[in-house]
């Protein structure tokens, strides 16, 4: 899960683990998308929802 703008390159601890149990208090709008299979992307913004399959992210 990614939320925000650019990743600060100088901050090695920018990403922090979070248990799915805490998602409801942080970003409850993401809950319906957790069941999507690998390869699906979601972009949510106020008044905007975009969900698409991206095969490229599985080729890593």
Taking the domains of the chain in order of start, what are their residue ranges?
34-60
pLDDT along the chain (60 residues), means of 10: 68 77 88 92 90 90
- pLDDT recorded at residue 57: 86
Taking the C-alpha atoms of residue 48 and residue 60, their distance in angstroms, rounded to an integer, is 28
First to last CA, the chain: 17
What is d(CA 12, CA 16) in angstroms, rounded to the nearest whole number?
A: 10
Q: Which residue, chain included where needed, has tokens 């090695």?
A: 12
Global confidence as pTM: 0.65
Q: What is the pLDDT of residue 11?
A: 74
Q: What pLDDT score does 2 carry?
A: 64
Q: Give the model's pLDDT for residue 5.
A: 66
């Amino acid at each position: 899960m990614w939320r925000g703008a650019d990743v600060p390159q100088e901050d090695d601890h920018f990403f922090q683990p979070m248990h799915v149990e805490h998602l409801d208090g942080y970003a409850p709008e993401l809950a319906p998308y957790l069941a999507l299979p690998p390869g699906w992307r979601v972009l949510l913004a106020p008044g905007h929802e975009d969900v698409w399959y991206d095969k490229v992210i599985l080729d890593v």
